[in-house]
Amino acid sequence: MKFLTCCRGARFAWSAIAVLASIDASAQSVPTIDTEDATLGSAKISGGGDLHPQLAFDVRNGDFARGNYDDDRADLDRLPVHAQLGVAIDLSHGSDGVATSWLVLRSSNGFHAPSTGEISTPRIWYESNNLAALVFTPVKGLRAVGVYTIKTSPNGVSATTHEASLSLAYDGDDVVGNLSPTFAVTMRPKGDNGVFTLAAIEPSFNLSERKDGPKLSIPVAIGRGWGGFYGSGSGSRSYLSAGAALEQPFLLGAMQWSTRLEALAVVRDDRLAALSGPRGETGTVVPLITWSVSTAY
């Protein structure tokens, strides 16, 4: 009897190992969170385990946050560079071995050629956004996250703010999932008052039958700051952004990377555009171009 029990136990253990071994790590993804607006994204991972480091770099023609000027005009004058470092830690798994909840930590840091008004050291380091988040999968295809972000300015060009956000993202295998809808709502425990809401979609199209082929997507977002979110006396202001993005995965050693070129037009209401002055653009339409490279293990 003991022998039969041992055999059954061995078969069960072997079956569990086989299930875990059959999970292709490269087919799995972990959540990513934008430190500017707390929207949820995802990144395919190159390795296994429960700890997934994330790394990203981008170069922009300007820096705008939620449709508003954020320390760099949309031109080729200073070309801000952002470096992002983070980690997604698996907290729970489903019966198939795929993670269903995560702790996400992420830091995004912006650097540019300093202006004459930026005199605190280090002058080139103008932005540091740092967040902690808990991400859950309540149903297949849907991810929900609670985020707390602290935004600081190492060279003193901007005031420190704290933001608490709730976000949803859906990428199920259906018509709605193909649109990749996201939604976020944010309030500030420290900083300006008001509430910010954002709704976005990004339908995508494979340009090749290859698994690692290029992909074209159409990001569209509508954002609105309510009750003075954009500053004292700003009221409720809105913007729309739309454009196109071309994404291409590639291998670098054993790591799976992705490069993305995105071009957006940000259309703002007149009052929100006026808030960008006098240092930023006061036009209602702003072109923003971003080239980025990212990976997750």
Asked whether residue 26 carries a pLDDT value surpassing 50, the answer given is no
CA distances from 235 to 196, 226, 266, 272 (A): 12, 7, 19, 10
DSSP letter at 25? G
Helices (H) and strands (E) in the chain, counts: 3, 18
CA angle 103, 104, 109 (to 5 degrees): 160
Average pLDDT over residues 244-253: 94
The pLDDT of residue 76 is: 80
Per-residue pLDDT for 294 more than 70?
yes
**Among the listed residues 217, 171, 238, 228, the one whose alpha carbon sits nearest the alpha carbon of residue 195:** 228
Secondary element (H or E) of residue 175 = helix 175-178
CA 80 to chain centre: 18
The pLDDT-based confidence of 27 (bands split at 50, 70, 90) is low
For 190-243, how does the pLDDT look when each residue is reduced to its tens digit (9 = 90+)? 998 999 999 999 999 999 988 889 999 999 999 999 999 999 889 999 999 999
pTM: predicted TM-score of the whole model, two decimal places: 0.88
**148 vs 72, more confident:** 148
The pLDDT score that the predictor gives to residue 22 is: 37
Amino acid sitting at position 74: A
Integer Cα distance of 15 and 17 in angstroms: 5
Q: pLDDT value at position 119?
A: 84
* Tens of pLDDT, residues 97-146: 899 999 999 999 999 998 877 888 999 999 999 999 999 999 999 999 99
Distances (CA, A) of 108 to 29, 131, 152, 200, 220: 20, 9, 11, 22, 23
Render pLDDT for 38-84 as a digit per residue (tens, 0 to 9).
Answer: 999 999 998 889 999 999 999 999 999 999 999 888 888 889 999 99
- The answer to which of 56-60, 159-163, 254-258, 266-270 has the lowest mean pLDDT is 254-258
Is residue 12's pLDDT more than 70? no
- Residue 75: predicted pLDDT: 85
